[in-house]
Amino acid sequence: MHPAQPVFDPAHAMGLPTDSPLVLGPMLRYVGETSATVWAQTAEHSVVTVTAGDREWSAPTFRVREGHYALVVADGLPVGSDVEYQLRVDGRRVWPEPDSPYPHPRLRTLDHDRPTRLAFGSCRVSEPHDARANKKNGVDALRTLALALVRGDEEWPDLMAFLGDQVYADWTSDEMRDFIASKRDIDEDPGVEIKDYEEYAHLYWLAWSDPANRWLLSTLPSCMIFDDHDIRDDWNTSWTWHEQINRTRWWHDRLVGGLASYWVYQHIGNLAPDELAADEIYARVLEHAAARDAGPSGMRDQDELDLTDAVFDLVERVDRHPEVYRWSYRRDLGDCRLVVVDSRAARVLEPERRSMLDEQEQRWLDEQLTGDVDHLLIGTSLPFLLPPGLHDFEAIDEVTAQGAYGRPLAAVGEKIRQVVDLEHWAAFNDGFEAVFDMVMDVARGNRGRAPATVTFLSGDVHNSYVAHVTDAAARHGARSTIVQAVCSPIRNPMPMALRVLMSGMAKSLVKPMNAWARRSKRVPDPAYPWTVTHGPWYDNCFAELNVQGPDLVVVWRGGEVRGGDDENPALTTVAEVKIAGSR
């Protein structure tokens, strides 16, 4: 499965291939029961068409900087469709590629009567798949899934949820560095980190263009949410962090380039057709396409809509006022509701009103967290329930950095916060307690029938585990099982030394940390404690969540090189956990 190497035009600002009208994608993104969206990046202004059977759907490209993009909405599909599709650019078939060794890509829509099978994972560096890179980064679990699906060794998930760090803007591969060095002086800031939108475009191309993953993403629906590395390690950790980085000359271009490219490459594919129509920026794409369709045929060649100013204006506003735009979204999957929460850009950092979620975001989340569904899934890049020892440590650090023990210690607390990444929900205690109260309200049956489980799905921490809220919640009236399932990394293993500490935070250090936290009246004691019941595991992996009536079975799957065949890893099972829901 070695396709020809792409041809690059060195003059292209984004360093993208020029030998095909299709640059990146197609990616099958949103799926409902009767509709699907397909995203693509093209080389030129063009019309992108999806055909399946005797149906076809088209969208003209829009432009952001030097990139041309289209999101085609395929609607009117039968419930639970599973049909082959093709992609055309200006009438020319570009996908599947003529000599593709992969199965034909398919449009797969949901069937709410079928038990949900949801894959999820996070943290994936974009490195090659040879022996050298596998030795350094481990095997790419996503690509291993692709190969297993090609071989027919694996059941198809309905949807893949990518829960953060889809790209690493601050930790670049040799390929990315070569591209950066071809454009600018890497001795000047931000060095080998991503500088702007154009470099992000190249980064996304590297992340999603290797043949097996590209095929997988063209035929497996996906939803996504950013985490810090999509922008930068520790993004929005604290007000001090925010102030420090805003004093650099390079940060502004990086942030707006990162958020603008996130909107284009990740966010719009999360939205259902009606949400696209309601989106203040995407509505312009639809209006432009409608005017084109309604006009005389000569209008079909009219200028491409240039969204650059609109998208960059949006992200400038988002940077100053996070509440003006919502990156979070919700998907109804039949037996499950999946609510995906932005735990990075919606943060309020001002020390006097520090919160994980701004007011609007918190109100929106409150409205989404309801019962009358078998399983309520809450996707948040950062684990809501950390290993208890780490939770206590972050809570202690938050009150210390806020000045509870005086200014000298506050500076030490801030330093530790930034160096050791103490910036999860535990380090934003007000938001943590508010969301826990919402969840308890759902679990008590105050918002419709109590779900069998309320399950947080997360990544970020480079280890995987399951944590259960203890019986204390039931004693306070909770009827749902409340649980945290973490899957991280898809490909970016944790250094050995840190694994010992992380295991301690889940086990041996729990009691000492709790004793330390309890000694201080200022450190809040969680009202409903939890324990890590399974894990941690440190393998590169993705997870599969299978609904089985009131229960969930979660299986973590990794990849293993056998017989020195680095290009064709085998799928392995890292762990399997049955989460018993309430009956």
Q: To the nearest whole angstrom, how small is the minimum distance from the Cβ of residue 122 to Fe ion?
A: 7
In terms of Cβ atoms closer than 10 Å to its own Cβ (0-12, 13-18, 19+), residue 549 is: exposed
Residue number, 158 or 165, with CB nearest to Fe ion: 165
Stretch of 165-173, 175-183, 513-521, 542-550 contacting Fe ion, by CB under 5 A: 165-173
* Number of residues near Fe ion (by CB under 5 A): 4
Tokens 């019986």 map to which residue?
Answer: 471
Binding letters toward Fe ion, positions 542-581, x by CB under 5 A: ----------------------------------------
Nearer to Fe ion, 145 or 163 (CB): 163
Chosen residue from 199, 210, 227, 398 binding Fe ion by CB under 5 A: 227
Residue 234 CB, nearest approach to Fe ion (Å): 9
CB of 459 to Fe ion, least distance (A): 7
| Per-residue DSSP letter, 265 | I
> Is 228 among the residues that bind Fe ion (CB under 5 A)?
yes
Give least dist CB 204 to Fe ion, A: 17
What angle (nearest 5°) sits at the alpha carbon of residue 488, between those of residues 556 and 196?
140
Which lies closer to Fe ion via its Cβ, residue 65 or residue 424? 424
Indicate whether 158 belongs to the interface with Fe ion (CB under 5 A). Answer: no
Cβ(253)–Cβ(232) below 8 Å: no
- Considering only residues 415-474, where is the footprint of Fe ion by CB under 5 A? 460
Q: Can you read off the two tokens belonging to residue 105?
A: 């890509």
> Do 202 and 169 contact (CB within 8 A), yes or no?
no
Q: Which helix or strand (DSSP H or E) is residue 331 part of?
A: strand 329-332
Residue with tokens 């805003």: 246
Q: Distance between CA atoms of 192 and 71, rounded to whole angstroms?
A: 31
Write out the two tokens for 199.
Answer: 């470099």
Candidates 225-233, 294-302, 394-402, 477-485 — which segment interacts with Fe ion by CB under 5 A?
225-233
Nearer to Fe ion, 109 or 166 (CB): 166
**Which lies closer to Fe ion via its Cβ, residue 441 or residue 460?**
460
CA separation for the pair 113, 98 (Å, rounded): 36
What is the closest distance, in whole angstroms, from the C-beta atom of residue 19 to Fe ion in the complex?
35
Site string for Fe ion, 490-529 (x = CB under 5 A): ----------------------------------------
The distance of closest approach from Cβ of residue 166 to Fe ion in the complex, given in angstroms and rounded to an integer, is: 10
Q: How far is the CB of 262 from Fe ion (least distance, A)?
A: 14
Nearer to Fe ion, 426 or 552 (CB): 426
| Residue nearer to Fe ion on the CB measure, 170 or 441 | 170
CA pair distance 263, 140, nearest whole angstrom: 25
Q: What share of the chain is helix, strand, coil (3-state, %, to 5)?
A: 35, 25, 40
CB of 123 to Fe ion, least distance (A): 6
Instruction: Answer whether the bond into residue 536 is a cis peptide, omega within 30°.
Output: yes
| Closer Cβ to Fe ion, 227 or 335, answer by number | 227
Stated length of the chain:
583
Q: Among the candidate windows 132-140, 164-172, 318-326, 409-417, which touches Fe ion by CB under 5 A?
A: 164-172
**Cβ distance to Fe ion smaller for residue 227 or 397:** 227
* Shorter beta-carbon distance to Fe ion: residue 286 or 494: 494
Stretch of 222-230, 333-341, 396-404, 517-525 contacting Fe ion, by CB under 5 A: 222-230
> Which span (95-103, 228-236, 390-398, 462-470) binds Fe ion, by CB under 5 A?
228-236
Subset of 326-385 contacting Fe ion (CB under 5 A): none
Say if residues 344 and 431 touch (Cβ distance below 8 Å).
Answer: no
* Helix/strand/coil (H/E/C) assignment for every residue in 509-564: CHHHHHHHHHHCCCCCCCCCCEEEEEEEECCCCEEEEEEECCEEEEEEEEEECCCC
Using CB under 5 A, pick the residue from 127, 158, 165, 361 that binds Fe ion. 165
Q: CB–CB of 38/273 below 8 Å?
A: no
CB-nearer residue toward Fe ion: 414 or 460: 460
> Residue 341: beta bridge partners?
380
Measured distance CA(37)–CA(25) in Å, rounded: 12
Burial class from Cβ neighbours inside 10 Å (0-12, 13-18, 19+) for residue 233 reads middle
Residues at the contact surface with Fe ion, assessed by CB under 5 A: 165, 227-228, 460
